[in-house]
Chains A and B, each alone.
Chain A
Amino acid sequence: MSDFNIVAIAILAVGMATFFIIGWYSRRWTKSTAEFYVAGGQIPWKLNGVAMFSNYASAASFLGVAGAVALFGIDNWWLALGFFAAWVVVVLILASPLRRSGKYTVADALQERFSGPEIRLLTIIAGIVIGVLYLVPQLVGAGHLFNLLIPGLDYIVWVAIAGAFTAAIVLLGGMRGTSYNQAFQGIIIFGAMVLLLVLAVILYFNWNPLNVLTEADSVVPPTVLVDEGLADEFLAEYPVDSSGEDAIAGAQSTGELLPDAPTAMTPGVNVTDILNQLSLVLGLFLGVVGLPHVLIRLYTVKDAVAARKSTELTIVSLAIFYTMTLFVGLIAMMLLYPLLVDLINEGEMGKATNTAVAELGGLLGGDILLGIVLAGAMAAVLSSAVGLLIQMTTTVAHDGYTVLLRPESSEQQRVLVARATGIVLTVIAVVLSVILKEENVAQLVGMTFGIAASTFAPVLLMTVWWTRFTRQGVIWTFIVGLVVSLLFTAARYAGVEEIGPIPVLVNPALYGVPAAFLAGVIVSLLTRDVGQVDHFMRMAHDRDGSIDGDGGEAAAG
């Protein structure tokens, strides 16, 4: 696939041109801040549900989960299970109260109860940290994909192009253009995954998807084979250009080569111990509750009922999608086994894990399917990237510039600040994407989930549900959660194994989440200012049943 591939490039170009046209067409709706930030709250719930799916099913889901399964086996499916489960948490305990109590951003919801600049400032800082760290894996994925298609240019050039393109879509189309783009991209992402699965099952697994699972149960993951020092021996018999049936035969021979090794379907192999497992799943479980770029979509529909319906549509789409990622990951492992072994053996883990799905597309359907898969992958990258960028620009322009710095500013100035913010943050994300080039995009996103779970999640949950939560409690929850989670994240990427007596885990959540909750509870119990708690709780929980008509039983409370 290293040759210049005109058909695939043409398909990808058509997809990207369409995204750009949607953004361009939507620019007339971005003159007011309400339109730019949340599309005036007028996005239909079905469209919003698809857009939320697309916003969420990012490069991490489309490329990262399947790629991680292809390299490590079923253990890495936990990323997908956690990504899915987080949405159930959102719909049960956050979607409705947050939708009822906010206007444009998560900070607005907090301000309904706790007014004052310090809390808004902390939400801006935490929102930017999480947003930029989440944007990085999207650009890493885009860089690898473009590089796969046109290898002549450096990875850094492609990352810069992807960043610039993302910024252009957001700055032109605002939230309405972003919503239409995300909905369109969601259809491409879902369709590409279905196409990969169906074609592979028909062509190589005798029309029966269960054969994928049973055959994978006799295959040793390529990472294990390389760790055992058998890569050269394997590649001598199955050269790197072996694929399809040959590759499947090679993959299945690994079960005989290493009879005592775990297979691709063996659970509990890649997670070293229960602490690491718990930290990862906790971060994923609470992550979405703390992701402002996802939560902001709850404000683009007219009321809490529409927000809940959107969320259910997203959950159903994600359930199907993440089940497919397991199958597609295992298929990629078997059909691309020699290639994956070669890349891992050469130390190119980032390329192996982040391009496995695209390579699979090229194998199954030639240039046309490669183009479609790349368009799907690029849609996944862009849909999340634009969602992140619009959330961050809205946070800075609305919470920072408009509310904190220049309340008297004009609509035009606010939109201008939003656009300038988009450019600056894109540049920062591009630089970080170059530094973190070799990381698996799903793992990077998982890490960001851990930070979100340690900051926004405890703050929002306690604000919405705990009447005794105080202003000082909010501040210290944010600070402690952010410091602890960033400390352990930095330690992990610096290769530090322990901080004092505390081991550094795969995800910071196991330390960040309890520390943040504990700080919030202790400080709240020591202080008295609970904010406009009665007003807020009535609004958030629709106690009067008068806000969106779904609180009849609430009035009984």
Chain B
Amino acid sequence: MVTPDQVEPTEGAPPEPEESTSADNQHWSPFSTTQAKTAWGLMAIFTIIYFSVAILTSAEFAELAATPVLGLPLGFWLGIGVIIAGLIITRVYLMKVEG
């Protein structure tokens, strides 16, 4: 993986037909953009939330997930939490990329 300053594409120029297809050359990394950093940062947060809830509602943690919270099992609230987190993360991402 290389940094963007190692390769300098011309602004707005059409693709160069003779550009290198070899891994031996250095290529621009999409991870260097603000948009990509935002996307993957939010993706990391959502992944952690999603898989944490999945583990907490599995058989191994059934007792914990069954703990009553506001009259209902914690597992239910965790599931609702995944949906709410997904909605918030989507909105935050779109606000960021659309300026």
Residues of A within 8 A of B (CB): 74-75, 77-78, 81, 84-85, 87-89, 91-93, 96-97, 213-214, 217, 265-269, 271-274, 277-278, 281, 285, 305, 308-309, 312, 315-316, 319, 322-323, 326, 464-468, 470, 524, 527-535, 537-541, 543-544, 546, 550-557
Q: Which residues of A lie under 8 Å from residue B33 when comparing CB positions?
A: 541, 543, 551, 553-554, 556-557
Q: For window 27-52 of chain B, which residues contact chain A by CB distance below 8 Å?
A: 27-36, 39-40, 42-43, 46-47, 50-51
Q: How far is the CB of B83 from chain A (nearest CB, A)?
A: 5
Shortest beta-carbon distance from A301 to chain B in Å:
15
Verify B12–A85 contact, CB threshold 8 A.
Answer: no
In the complex, chain A residues whose CB is within 8 Å of the CB of B31: 465
5 closest A-B pairs (Cβ-Cβ)? A267-B75, A268-B62, A535-B15, A557-B33, A267-B65
Interface centre among B20, B90, B94 (most CB of A within 10 A): B90
A553 in contact with B34 (CB, 8 Å): yes
Q: Report the minimum CB–CB distance from B13 to chain A (whole Å).
A: 8
A269 touches B4 (CB 8 A): no
| Cross-chain contact A541 with B35 (CB below 8 angstroms) | yes
Q: Please determine whether A315 and B73 come into contact, CB atoms closer than 8 angstroms.
A: no
Q: Which of B's residues lie within 8 Å of A, judged by CB?
A: 1-2, 4, 7, 9, 11-13, 15-16, 19-24, 27-36, 39-40, 42-43, 46-47, 50-51, 53-55, 57-62, 65-66, 71-76, 79-80, 82-83, 86-87, 89-91, 93-94, 97-99
Residue numbers in B under 8 Å from A272 (CB-CB) = 59
Given A213-B76, A319-B83; 7 other pairs, CB 8 A cutoff: A81-B53, A274-B55, A315-B87, A315-B90, A530-B27, A544-B9, A553-B99
**A58-B21 Cα distance, complex, nearest whole Å:** 41
Is the Cβ of A81 less than 8 Å from the Cβ of B27? Answer: no
- The answer on a CB contact under 8 Å between B94 and A312 is yes
- On whether the beta carbons of B16 and A273 are closer than 8 Å, the reply is no
Q: A214-B71, A529-B22, A533-B27 are in contact. Are A267 and B62 (CB under 8 A)?
A: yes
Q: Tell me the complex Cα distance, A312–B27, Å.
A: 32
Q: Which residues of A contact B27 (CB under 8 A)?
A: 467, 530, 533-534, 537
Of A278, A468, A554, which is within 8 A of B54 by CB? A278
Cβ–Cβ contact B82 & A84, under 8 A: yes
Would B16 and A268 count as touching, CB distance under 8 A? no
Determine how close the nearest CB of chain A comes to the CB of B4; give it in whole angstroms. Answer: 5
Which of A92, A535, A546 sits near B43, CB closer than 8 Å? A92
* Cβ A541 vs Cβ B30 within 8 A: yes
| A308, B21: Cβ atoms closer than 8 Å | no
CA of A196 to CA of B29, assembled, Å: 50
Q: How far is the CA of A92 from the CA of B20 in the complex (A)?
A: 29
Distance to closest chain A CB from B88 (angstroms): 10
A293 to B34, CA, bound (A): 30
Complex-state Cα separation, A552 to B11, whole angstroms: 12
Query: Considering the chains assembled together, what is the distance between the CA atoms of A268 and B76 in angstroms?
Result: 11
Q: A273 and B23 in contact (CB under 8 A), knowing A265-B73, A315-B87?
A: no
Specify the chain A residue showing the minimal Cβ separation from B32.
A557
Contact between chains at B34 and A550 (CB < 8 Å) = no
Residues of A within 8 A of B99 (CB): 550, 552-553
Residue of A nearest to B73 (CB): A265
Considering the chains assembled together, what is the distance between the CA atoms of A95 and B28 in angstroms?
20
Contact across chains for A89 and B43 when beta carbons are under 8 A apart: yes
Cα separation A312 to B97 with both chains bound (whole Å): 13
| Complex: A75 Cα to B27 Cα, angstroms | 46
A534 touches B58 (CB 8 A): no
Least Cβ–Cβ distance between A547 and chain B, in angstroms: 10
- Which residue on A lies nearest to B5, using beta carbons? A557
Q: How far is the CB of A291 from chain B (nearest CB, A)?
A: 18
B12 to chain A, nearest CB (A): 5
Most buried by A among B47, B53, B54, B73: B54
| CB–CB A77/B79 < 8 A | yes
Distance of A286 from chain B, by nearest CB (Å): 10
Contact in complex: A468, B73 (CB < 8 Å): no
CB atoms of A85 and B76 under 8 A apart:
no
* Known contacts A305-B98, A319-B83, A554-B35; A267/B7 CB under 8 A: no
Assess whether B76 is in contact with A265, with CB atoms less than 8 Å apart. yes
- Chain B CB count within 10 A is highest, among A74, A85, A265, A530, for A85
* Closest chain B residue to A308, Cβ basis: B94
Q: What are the residues of chain A within 8 A of B94 when measuring CB–CB?
A: 91, 308-309, 312
A75, A537, A552: the one within 8 Å of B28 (CB): A537
Q: Please state if B7 and A534 are interface contacts (CB–CB under 8 Å).
A: yes
B73 pairs with A541, CB closer than 8 A = no
Q: A529-B22, A532-B19, A544-B9 are in contact. Are A266 and B73 (CB under 8 A)?
A: yes
Partner of B60 from A93, A96, A273 at Cβ < 8 Å? A273
Using Cβ atoms and an 8 Å threshold, which residues of chain A touch B62?
266-269
Interface-central residue, B16, B51, B55, B79, by most chain A CB under 10 Å: B79
Contact B15 A528 (CB under 8 A): no
Complex alpha-carbon distance, A277 and B39, angstroms: 26
In the assembled complex, how far is the CB of residue A315 from the closest CB belonging to chain B, in whole angstroms?
Answer: 5
Interface residue from B4, B54, B65, B93 paired with A91 (Cβ < 8 Å): B93
A265 to B62, CA, bound (A): 11
Q: How far is the CB of A265 from chain B (nearest CB, A)?
A: 5
Contacts of B55 in A (CB 8 A): 274, 277-278
Write out the residue numbers on chain B whose beta carbons fall within 8 Å of the beta carbon of A524. 23
Which of B23, B61, B86 is A268 in contact with, Cβ under 8 Å?
A: B61
Structural contact, A281 and B76, CB atoms closer than 8 A: no
Contact A538 B28 (CB under 8 A): yes
Interface-central residue, B21, B71, B74, by most chain A CB under 10 Å: B21
Shortest Cβ distance from residue B10 to the other chain A in the assembled complex, whole angstroms:
9
A185, chain B: closest CB distance, angstroms: 23
CA distance in complex: A539, B28 (Å): 12
> Which has the most chain B C-beta neighbours within 10 Å: A92, A316, A319, A323?
A92
The closest CB in chain A to the CB of B41 belongs to A92
Distance of A428 Cα from B79 Cα, bound (Å) = 37
